[in-house]
A = this chain, B = another copy of it.
Amino acid sequence: MLLTSLYILGITAEGMSGALAAGRHNMDWFGVIFIACVTAIGGGSIRDILFGHYPLTWVAHPEYLAIVCAAALLTTRIPFLVERFEKAFLILDALGLAVFSIIGARIGLEFHPSGAMAVAGAVITGVFGGILRDIFCARIPLVFQKELYASISLMIGSLYVVLEFISKNYFPLNEDLIIIGSLLVGFVTRLIAIRYHLGLPRFEYTPKNQ
């Protein structure tokens, strides 16, 4: 199935990006594997824990865990290649974000009829891996300060919910079409956001009495 192939591509790319983050902090191989796993499958794990949606994907399918570990260790051997193909990585990361968001939206939709949890599920699955990666590296998550990222998940989740709603109530749409449509819109928007440095407004607050 298309979504599964894209998911495997997504966790591989996220695992490699996690391994590089671990390398920036000069971690050992366990640190590299840990940060890679957290980056690649942490978002989906947090989503499933918050929803009580058991078993977690990688518990039922340890082969996904093995893929991420292999990608992480491979990255320690070829960091120069990863650097060389930096742009390809940004594209894979954008694809991963879109795929994770769609998967999160589909699972979230089961948990509340309103679609609110589909949107929450999309955002949690899309961004929590990166948030955990940064927390375990003891720094403020990048996703709170850089180009549009969580907003893409929110957009994908909302679009998916709207299309599902239209499909059910007004005009039957093919499920694959809904998935590919939401995915493409999110993917392209992410690339545009990176290219033009589009970000959300910042909130700067400096307490007077400090």
Residues on A close to B: CB < 8 A? 19-20, 22-32, 34-35, 45, 49-52, 54-56, 59-60, 62, 65-66, 76, 79, 83, 86, 111-112, 114, 116-117, 120, 127, 131, 135-141, 143-145, 149-151, 199-209
Interface of chain A: mostly helix, strand, loop or mixed: helix
7 interchain pairs (CB within 8 A)? Answer: A28-B199, A30-B151, A31-B203, A45-B50, A50-B59, A55-B111, A136-B140
Count this chain's copies in the assembly.
3
How distant is the Cα of A142 from the Cα of B140 in the complex, in angstroms?
16
Closest to A115 in B: B62
A201 touches B28 (CB 8 A): yes
B62 touches A112 (CB 8 A): yes
Minimal beta-carbon separation of A88 from chain B (angstroms) = 15
B29 touches A200 (CB 8 A): yes
B144 touches A28 (CB 8 A): yes
B202 touches A144 (CB 8 A): no
Most B CB contacts (10 A, CB to CB) among A22, A45, A62 go to A62
Contact A136/B145 with A24-B206, A50-B45, A117-B62 known, Cβ cut-off 8 Å: no
Minimal beta-carbon separation of A14 from chain B (angstroms) = 16
A22 touches B203 (CB 8 A): yes
Closest to A134 in B: B138
How distant is the Cα of A151 from the Cα of B29 in the complex, in angstroms?
10
Minimal beta-carbon separation of A123 from chain B (angstroms) = 8
Q: In the complex, given contacts A23-B205, A29-B201, what are 13 additional A-B residue pairs having Cβ atoms less than 8 angstroms apart?
A: A22-B203, A24-B206, A24-B207, A34-B150, A45-B50, A49-B49, A59-B117, A65-B116, A65-B120, A76-B201, A83-B207, A86-B209, A135-B136
Minimal beta-carbon separation of A116 from chain B (angstroms) = 4
Minimal beta-carbon separation of A111 from chain B (angstroms) = 6
A30 touches B137 (CB 8 A): no
